[in-house]
Chains A and B, each alone.
Chain A
């Protein structure tokens, strides 16, 4: 199916306006695949007609449906296992010592997609057993997509999703079959909560001990990236940690965070 430059600009412009995310040339191939189900559902004969439909004021939900379809929801359990292992050692140890009096840790998974990262963290804490007795571990996941946040809140994963990155023993310990899917146990679900949030808006939390914003910023333009970092800096505790994805860095994008030279891939807020 042909995608005209006009339609491509319309979809890319809509995505950027609503989310700050860019459809770079290397992602243009995704447009057709991502929008095909929507074309069928809404009975548009072509991508051009779908793009034209965005101008119809009577169809208010169409733009939101297009944005939902264009967002990249790629995620899996324990993504970059080495980073998780490192996180649960040094940085969490440091935070545990610093928060020993109030016995509370707050974690924000910013851009969490369907929740695998938040549930991975919940499992990592739960499996440390007695260490966290008497503590409140608040794991809060947000994403701009209503669809994935709904699924994250359910804690329900398809067979395809559940086995990506999740060791089978942990799957059996923390998930149970429910219909065609695997659903997180109530114990695990109690440790996480989710809400919809646009990273370009004011942060939904404050004084957070740890922020994970992994493999999200690469979709933003330079200007929007600065705004997102400003929001993360406003949300984080002065001695907190920011964790980015393996290929991401603050360097050249913000002066609000510095690399943590002890823990690679982690960043500390600048006072």
Chain B
């Protein structure tokens, strides 16, 4: 079973994402900010990270940059999942190494299709 780390400071979003991901037969772990997420990835790299942009302590972009230099054993796929839906943000995320991008709000089909695109569903 594949593992997805949901990184979002909103408990509600994490709960919604968890529910969808579990119906897609993922093991789900949660983190409330980028720093927690980084610690999780260094301990047990997930297959994919569903990553919010704006979070306290460490943002999604800061997490992505830190992940690149962290020496994790296996880099997970990174799917941004954010309300930042402008072209500039999307371009910046791609340039920083994001594999996919989900614009909130999202539903099961959208998330499933994005996970298929990165080869995980």
| Residues 18 to 66 of chain A near chain B (Cβ within 8 Å) | none
| Contact of A163 with B103 at beta-carbon distance under 8 Å, contacts A169-B94, A177-B87 already known | yes
Please report the C-alpha to C-alpha distance between residue A169 and residue B90 in the assembled complex, in whole angstroms: 9
A164 within 8 A of B: yes
Pair A159/B94 contact, Cβ less than 8 Å: no
* A–B pairs, 5, beta carbons within 8 Å: A159-B85, A163-B114, A165-B117, A169-B94, A177-B87
Query: Of B85, B94, B107, B116, which is within 8 A of A172 by CB?
Result: B94
Query: Of A164, A167, A172, A176, which is within 8 A of B109 by CB?
Result: A164
| Residues 94 to 121 of chain B near chain A (Cβ within 8 Å) | 94, 98, 100-103, 105-107, 109-110, 113-114, 116-117
Chain B: interface residue count, which band? 20 to 34
Please report the C-alpha to C-alpha distance between residue A168 and residue B81 in the assembled complex, in whole angstroms: 12
A133 within 8 A of B: no
Residues of B within 8 A of A (CB): 85-87, 90-91, 94, 98, 100-103, 105-107, 109-110, 113-114, 116-117
Chain A: interface residue count, which band? 10 to 19
Please report the C-alpha to C-alpha distance between residue A225 and residue B12 in the assembled complex, in whole angstroms: 46
Query: Of A160, A164, A168, A177, which is within 8 A of B100 by CB?
Result: A168
Q: CB-nearest residue of chain A relative to B79?
A: A168
Please report the C-alpha to C-alpha distance between residue A164 and residue B114 in the assembled complex, in whole angstroms: 8
Least CB distance, B108 to chain A, in whole angstroms = 11
Pair A172/B90 contact, Cβ less than 8 Å: yes
| Contact of A172 with B91 at beta-carbon distance under 8 Å, contacts A159-B85, A163-B110, A164-B110 already known | yes
Chain B residues in 8 Å Cβ range of A165: 113, 117
Least CB distance, B24 to chain A, in whole angstroms = 15
